[in-house]
Chains A and B, each alone.
Chain A
């Protein structure tokens, strides 16, 4: 345990000293992996799958805000789908426009969840997202998580099914559009997953905000149980043919990863390091502020005062 704490301190100190470079590196790697994944799953427009274009786009995403990466990924997806069939691009465009125009006006910080969710689905660890968002974000992340799942299922469906290439005939194009929309709207597994993940995010968030000891641990465990129960109930009600074994194993893995997140993130908020500089009459100040995460200490109420057994024996001897 001491070794783990030392490792954590070492990682924390390393991050605090090199926070700027680490941010650039993780933004580059995330953008590159997301764009590579899009090319790997779709890949209809070969101009967008080449290494030079991926590197250039990733470098651009490194220096821009995180939301720009989401916009670039959306652009790449639309490019690939346009090459396949314009009507499929329209479906994806509808989803992205709904996302950007309706939701991200209010909560632009959540856009990263839209990108991370399909990545986790591809890496076969989708169940970690609701627990992680419940721990690190808030209940409004449910919306970005839902959009992420819709994008993931859309890409999986398009890449996995033998679709007829686009037609110039408008009626046939409309029929293909209708088919894709129907598949998306009637996908019961997707809607059950969205509902189960939404409930999990809310449960984890509410429990980790409680002013009790080990609130994060309770939230993680409760989140895992909630996720399993919600998915099983959804499967029973809507017959989604969900693999119960994969749900159990996936949730176990998600709980393990959530404990890892708790271990590293709990006492220190890495994302809010701030640098300021100012001066007064005497000095120039260059300040780096690293915020602490505080937990409300539970109120301890004294209900009973009792002596220890040894004190009772001593008191008995005296009397």
Chain B
């Protein structure tokens, strides 16, 4: 005999498992610090690549002026400016990544807690079904 309440609960739990396996739920596999730290590191890597692209585009854009002034310009000073802009850019991007991934991790944990509660409820229903 079908128990509609149990079917609905099992359906919701199965949908959760399917969805979370597609998302790669990290809250089961990683501590918050490990997950967020790894994501921030990869974000800094992305920011570094993007910054290098910006610098290359800037050089190409100002190539004429650079070729004319290469012997009179202060290359060290220019390098210091690039470095300070990089630190600002990578720092800001890392901060955004920290906030985004911390919020995401907390949401994943809440969903996982709801899932575990659902599993406990299902287990109780199954036991009641066997004993009743």
Q: Pick the contact of A285 from B10, B42, B46, B100 — CB < 8 Å?
A: B10
Query: What is the predominant secondary structure among interface residues of chain B facing chain A?
Result: helix
Please state if B10 and A94 are interface contacts (CB–CB under 8 Å): no
Beyond A178-B61, A283-B2, is A97–B15 a contact (Cβ under 8 Å)? Answer: no
- A64: CB under 8 A from chain B? no
A5 at the interface (CB under 8 A from B): no
**In the complex, residue of chain A having the shortest beta-carbon distance to the beta carbon of B11:** A287
Interface 0/1 of B36-55, CB less than 8 Å to A: 00000011001101100100
Does A274 contact B19, Cβ atoms closer than 8 Å? yes
Q: Which of A90, A175, A289 contacts B15 (CB 8 A)?
A: A289
Q: Distance (Å) between the CB of A83 and the closest chain B CB? A: 20
Q: Does chain B have a CB within 8 A of A174? A: yes
A299 within 8 A of B: no
| B93 is an interface residue with CB less than 8 A from chain A | yes
**B19 contacts across to A, CB distance below 8 A:** 274
Contact call B60/A285, Cβ cutoff below 8 A: no
| Interface membership of B14, Cβ < 8 A | yes
Within 8 Å of chain B (Cβ to Cβ): is A297? no
Task: List residues of chain A with CB within 8 A of the CB of B53.
Answer: 94, 97-98
Closest to A87 in B: B60
Cβ-defined partner of B93 (8 Å) among A94, A102, A278, A283:
A102
| Docked-complex contact A174 and B10, CB < 8 angstroms | no
Closest to A98 in B: B50
Q: How far is the CB of A63 from chain B (nearest CB, A)?
A: 16
Question: Using Cβ atoms and an 8 Å threshold, which residues of chain A touch B60?
Answer: 87, 90, 174, 177-178
Give 1 or 0 for each of A257-294: 1 = CB within 8 Å of chain B CB. Answer: 00000000000000000101110100101010100000
Known: A102-B50, A105-B42. 7 other contacts (CB 8 A): A94-B57, A98-B50, A102-B47, A178-B63, A276-B14, A278-B11, A280-B126
A interface list, Cβ under 8 A from B: 87, 90, 94, 97-98, 101-102, 105-106, 170-171, 174-175, 177-178, 181, 274, 276-278, 280, 283, 285, 287, 289
**11 contacting pairs across A/B (C-beta < 8 A):** A90-B57, A97-B53, A98-B50, A101-B46, A106-B97, A106-B100, A171-B67, A274-B18, A274-B19, A285-B7, A285-B11
Closest 7 CB pairs of A and B: A174-B63, A276-B14, A101-B46, A287-B11, A278-B14, A274-B15, A101-B50
